Amino acid sequence: MLISSRKVVKFCTFLYLHIPKPYIYWQTNFLYRKSGQDLEKRVINKKLARIVRELDEIPGYEIFKYYDEAGHKVDVKSEDLNAYIREHMGEAFSAKDFRTWAGTMIAAIALDELGAVDQEDQDLLDENIRKAVIRVSEKLGNTPAVARSAYIDPRVIEEYTQGKTLKYFQTEIDKLLDSNQSLSREEVGVLYLLKNELDPN
């Protein structure tokens, strides 16, 4: 066995954002098809790249696979990923939550970079939101409509229409970073933004 089944599932869970469907082959980058489109993602983490190379040594078209104790090749399916996630995070979670978090992060960062807009300028608001949604769709490999409806928390867009981006919460983010050193500034910012929309007080 090149790699344990549990390690494969754990790895696939982590990489799920980059390869939604296991129709890929290993080169320098990941290449795969989704919704009839040829897509390409690059994994630059050396540890993950090494694991992918080990997986690719196992014969078979799909990349996520391992040998069981009886020596049979087993393909890792989405059910395996979700079982692992629920075991460690709870029954309410699935692989989709990882993609939703990624989409929400990408949208929040994009809107922050575009900057706050006067609430009266509806055309510019709509245009910036459109640009943010397109960025999410390009990263996740979905259409803009699917990206907005399924993978962007609507609170990010709602806050933006009220003139609030990550920079708006800069002071609070700086304070929270001291107690959340395992999270990036952007992650802390998005969490605070979502919490603020739920409880503005």
Residues 23, 40 within the same domain: yes
Q: What pLDDT shows up at residue 153?
A: 96
Average pLDDT over the chain reads: 78
Q: What is the DSSP letter of 167?
A: G
Q: What is the pLDDT of residues 66-101, one digit of tens each?
A: 888 888 888 888 888 899 889 988 999 998 898 899
Residues 24, 114 within the same domain: no
Q: What is the pLDDT of residues 130-175, one digit of tens each?
A: 999 999 998 888 899 999 999 999 999 999 999 999 998 888 888 8
Number of domains in the chain: 2
In a domain, 201, yes or no: no
In a domain, 118, yes or no: yes
Q: What is the CATH number of the domain that holds 129?
A: 1.10.132.120
Q: What is the pLDDT of residues 39-75, one digit of tens each?
A: 566 656 677 777 777 877 888 877 788 888 888 888 8
Looking at per-residue pLDDT, the higher value among 6 and 129 belongs to 129
In a domain, 110, yes or no: yes
Residues 67, 137 within the same domain: no
- Dist. CA 1–CA 5, nearest whole Å: 9
Residue that finishes a domain, picked among 26, 59, 89: 89
pTM: 0.71
In a domain, 2, yes or no: no
- Dist. CA 18–CA 12, nearest whole Å: 10
- Dist. CA 35–CA 142, nearest whole Å: 8
In a domain, 50, yes or no: yes
- Dist. CA 142–CA 34, nearest whole Å: 8
User: How crowded is residue 17: how many other Cβ atoms within 10 Å of its Cβ?
Assistant: 16
Residue 74 forms beta bridges with which residues? 66
- Structural domain that includes position 141: 95-196
Q: Please give the share of the chain, as a percent, with pLDDT higher than 70.
A: 74
Residues 79, 157 within the same domain: no
Rg (CA), the chain: 19
- Residue 31 burial by Cβ neighbours in a 10 Å radius (0-12, 13-18, 19+): middle
Strand (E) positions, 15-64?
24-26, 30-34, 37-41
Looking at per-residue pLDDT, the higher value among 108 and 88 belongs to 108
Give the helix ranges, DSSP H, for the chain. Answer: 5-15, 46-56, 78-89, 95-114, 122-140, 144-151, 154-161, 170-177, 185-198
In a domain, 115, yes or no: yes
Give the mean pLDDT of 185-199. Answer: 81
Residue that finishes a domain, picked among 59, 89, 119: 89
In a domain, 56, yes or no: yes
Q: What pLDDT shows up at residue 13?
A: 46
In a domain, 150, yes or no: yes
Residues 180, 151 within the same domain: yes
